[in-house]
Amino acid sequence: MGVKLVLAGWYGGESLFSAPEAPRPWLRRVEGWVREAAEELLESSRTVEGPQGPILFLRLHPAAEEVAVVAAGQGRVVVLGNTSMVGPGYHRYLCDLLHALGDALQVDWADPALTVAGVGDPTGYFHTGDPSGIAPSMLAWLKEMAGRVLDFRKQGHSGATLSMRVGHGFQYPGALLTPLGPRDESWLRAVHEEPRRGQDIFPWWEPGLGAATKLGRALSRIWTEMVWRPPLLEEERHLFRDVARLLETAWREQPELAYPWREWQQVLGYLGVGGTLAEEVSRRAVEAPSGPLLGYRRGEVQVTLPEGWEIRIPGSLAETQLADGTWVARDHRRSVRFVPLQDVRGIAPGPDEEMPYEFQYQGERVSGRATLHVEPGECRLTALCESGTHRALCVVSFDDPEEQDWALGTWRSLDHAAAA
């Protein structure tokens, strides 16, 4: 489903008498080349072991799925990338990047006519250089998706999303959530009738790295990644700076675009940035139309945790996954710590032991019991949770005793997807 690149090829093709380079070293060279070629466009990279060989995952846009580069042994390479959610400009960029990669690292890409069905570029651009089929392919996909969401809603369902990253579900009103904000049902009907009316959900429509592309990248971050408070972690500060940089460079290139002035003002305020630019942004923010501010993380977020668990937290909390499997979310006055457990003995008091506070909870799929320690400036709820054979420890810490109900609600929001 969607516009997906599935490219096959062989690397090391110039050597006829020596074995090709081993998969992992070759993927390290690929990663290094992409890091240099893509520069700041490379969001992240990681290598894992897959069933056919090591896989290098590359994320090249905040709204994109990761591109997978599979080194399958004996010089074989397969690249998989879904470009539907970002737009025609991103599709062209990725294809051009892979062509340059092939030239630099001696990849001989297979002719799709000589491979199995489904391998290649469904728009034809990678093979022919003709971009005329990219936009129609993406609009056809969008029309189909709009129809599916309308059917989904007719059946009484809600909470539809399109092109959103897995791992986080946002508690935000709208018939459909997209990386560039929510859309209502009238938008869905209009797009199903004429998909070009939905072009506004693609953050990278035009080719190249111009102002509209930079603005789309910034808006994707504002909607899905930004936490709306002063930065707590260095990676958050880096994110704020990146958004501010993208907005400024786009505005200086093309000032007539529709910029998120009020949100831009907030970002500069969190960074402590002043001067002429900040004054101009503040002036524009005052003149901007009123209405809800952009950003899904202004509300609550449903987070997918290790080993099938889920929890609901405020979107302002900074999340960290530790090497031992512990997940932590925190801000300047609250924290939530989650630890999946193999053996729960000795973690929590037994049923006959006295506790100053005790709470029992029995949900549809998860049960738990908790102790609560409350003192001004040092409050902590410690809960043991079970779902079938799955167990976990949840510790909620907070400064203000008035937030006791929030701590209890956070613990009771724990769910387990496998049990469902």
Give yes or no for residue 282 having a pLDDT over 60. yes
- Cα radius of gyration (the chain): 24
| Measured distance CA(255)–CA(211) in Å, rounded | 9
Residue 347: pLDDT band with limits 50, 70, 90? very low
Q: How many Cβ atoms are within 10 Å of 359's Cβ, its own excluded?
A: 15
Average pLDDT over residues 357-362: 81
CB 297 within 8 A of CB 170: yes
Characterize the bridge pairing of strands 176-178 and 160-161: parallel
Q: pLDDT band for 18, please (50, 70, 90 cuts).
A: low
113, 206, 292, 311, 383 from 403: Cα distances, Å:
63, 47, 25, 17, 16
Q: Look-up: residue for tokens 């030239």?
A: 103
Task: Supply the mean pLDDT for the chain.
Answer: 91
Contacts of 155 (CB under 8 A, 6+ apart): none
Name which of 88-102, 194-208, 252-266, 314-328 the model is least confident about: 314-328
Helix, strand, coil share (%) of the chain residues, nearest 5: 40, 25, 35
| Residue (of 40, 30, 33, 38) closest to 68 by Cα position | 30
Residue 398 contacts by C-beta under 8 Å, 6 or more apart in sequence?
333, 334, 335, 379, 380, 404, 406, 407
Find where tokens 């539809």 sit: 160
Q: Is the pLDDT of residue 350 over 70?
A: no
The model's pTM: 0.89
Q: What is the mean pLDDT of residues 47-58?
A: 91
Mean pLDDT of 58-76: 93
CB-based contacts of 2: which residues, under 8 Å, 6+ apart?
A: 82, 83, 84, 85, 141
What is the average pLDDT across 347-352?
A: 46
87-100 average pLDDT score: 98
Query: How confident is the model at residue 288, as a pLDDT?
Result: 95
Pairing of the two strands 107-109 and 4-11: antiparallel
Q: Could you tell me which residues come within 8 angstroms of residue 24 by beta carbon, excluding any fewer than 6 positions away? A: 47, 54, 71
210-267 pLDDT per residue, tens: 999 999 999 999 999 999 999 998 999 999 999 999 999 999 999 999 999 999 999 9
| 281: pLDDT strictly greater than 50 | yes
Residue 259's contacts (CB-CB under 8 Å, 6 or more residues apart) are 215, 247, 250, 251, 284
Task: Give the tens place of pLDDT for each residue, 104-113.
Answer: 999 999 887 6
Identify which has the larger pLDDT, 299 or 377: 299
Instruction: Map out the domains of the chain with their CATH numbers.
Output: 4-129 (3.60.90), 137-287 (no CATH), 308-416 (3.40.1000.10)
pLDDT value at position 15?
Answer: 52
pLDDT at 13: 60
Query: pLDDT tens digits, residue range 103-152?
Result: 999 999 988 765 566 789 999 999 999 999 999 999 999 999 999 999 99
Closest to 5 in 3D by CA, of 87, 108, 124:
124
Query: Given this model, what pLDDT does residue 1 score?
Result: 66
Closest by CA position to 373, among listed 351, 395, 345, 342: 395
Q: Evaluate if residue 343 carries a pLDDT over 80.
A: no
What does the pLDDT read at residue 114?
Answer: 57
Average the pLDDT over 318-327 and give the result. 89
**Residue 354, pLDDT above cutoff 50:** no
Q: Could you tell me the two tokens for 204?
A: 């990278």
- pLDDT value for 243: 98
pLDDT value for 117: 66
Tokens linked to 379: 């409050």
pLDDT higher than threshold 80 for residue 346: no
CB-CB neighbours of 172 under 10 Å: 20
- Specify the higher pLDDT residue, 324 or 279: 279
Q: Name the token pair of 121.
A: 């570029």
